[in-house]
Amino acid sequence: MLSATDRLPHRPRRVLVAGASASGKTTLAARISERLGIRHVELDALFHGPGWTPRETFEAEVEAFSAEPSWVTEWQYTVVRERLAQRADLVVWLDLRRATVMRRVVQRTVLRRLRRQVLWNGNIEPPLWTVVTDREHIVRWAWSTHHKSAPRIAAVHQQRPDLVIVRLRDRYAVEQWVNGPLRHAASLPTITE
């Protein structure tokens, strides 16, 4: 497992960004996309249909884009997680403390709700009081699933010891990695299969 300062062995082509809800996966995926000049596919946009219902085309769309030669996306959704891990050549793990994640998810959720920010396919955050009544509310989800990233990373590392995994433990490490090893890797030639 690599740290924020370890050089990448190659220019990544298929990148997964792992971490708890609200750890910054989508933001980092967009930055990686820009730096490497590869397509960012936001999984939440493919998964959530109107009214927060799962889209029937989700798995087929993930199958299609993940068969392409290059992409970056978030590593989430059990139904496609294994498929994405088998096709990736880099996993960037945002291993942030639970307190950091919870602060971020609460702040993000409140702001989105107060601003009535339109998210994927016309959805907006539900009323704030639903954090008490909805077991799958994003704030409760972030709390109850935070501990699952480490075992998932360990499992994929065991299944694919060749897969490059970078562990970033805070925002400083993210900046260090983006402006150091990722920047350097972007200057490397693309290796084809």
CA dihedral (141, 144, 147, 152) in degrees, to 10, reads -50
Identify the pLDDT of residue 136. 85
Query: Taking the model in full, what pTM does it have?
Result: 0.93
| pLDDT single digits (tens) 57-111 | 999 999 999 999 999 999 999 999 999 999 999 999 999 999 999 999 999 999 9
CATH topology of domain 14-186: Rossmann fold (3.40.50)
Section 20-32 average pLDDT: 95
Q: Which tokens is 114 given? A: 């107060």
Helices marked H in 116-170 — which ranges? 130-133, 138-145, 149-159
Q: Where are the domains of the chain?
A: 14-186
pLDDT confidence band for 13 (50 / 70 / 90): very high
Identify the pLDDT of residue 192. 61
Angle, CA 169 vertex, CA 134 and CA 96 arms, to 5°: 10
pLDDT confidence band for 193 (50 / 70 / 90): low
